[in-house]
Structure 1
């Protein structure tokens, strides 16, 4: 990249918009009890569906999803420190199975 070229993906405005979108996506994922690690393990097609379900345009890079995972980890730490707070429990934890599938144990 030439020294005079601007990397529009990493301007202050782009960082702010990425953070806003990540916050919106993190709220949706948190309400469904999805952890940061679980989120980062989801395939791209499921992440796109999750973003659409959250009412957001799917992020074009994994960079935003990494920010989402960090926000989820922060919220989990806060919830563990404040278990009696009404926002410390996901509102739609029963919907987690729609996004994160538990591995099926093999037949023995």
Structure 2
């Protein structure tokens, strides 16, 4: 690959920076009890708001959000294996509804 052909989005430095950003986001999101699957279902505008609330510049690609989702899944597995550990319970689970809206109940058909 010629120096002019370098894909800066996929260099080792970019991967490390993406991982660092993802870890910060994952910590915030985990503390709100949002799962990896729920995160990946959020619309882009909500993801940007979530990143800003976490004090992180919103990621420019979906790659970072996929890393965040994988980290959330990893933390969920760890929390299931260590339920008595203080970090196994999200501290702000009540804020989940701010990001992930529960499904609406069906309208009665009587």
Range into which the TM-score falls when normalised by the shorter chain: over 0.9
Q: Deviation string for 1:1-57 (max 9, x for gaps)? A: xx3110000000000000000000000000000000000000000000000000000
Please tell me whether Structure 1 or Structure 2 has the larger radius of gyration of its CA atoms: 2
- Counterpart mapping for 1:1-108 below 5 A: 3-4=1-2, 5-108=5-108
Give me the CA root mean square deviation.
Answer: 0.5
| Structure 1 counterpart SS, 2:21 | helix
Name stretches of at least 5 consecutive residues in structure 2 with no aligned partner. Answer: none
TM-score with structure 1 setting the length: 0.97
Count of aligned positions = 106
Runs of 4 or more, structure 1, over 3 Å off, are: none
Name stretches of at least 5 consecutive residues in structure 1 with no aligned partner. Answer: none
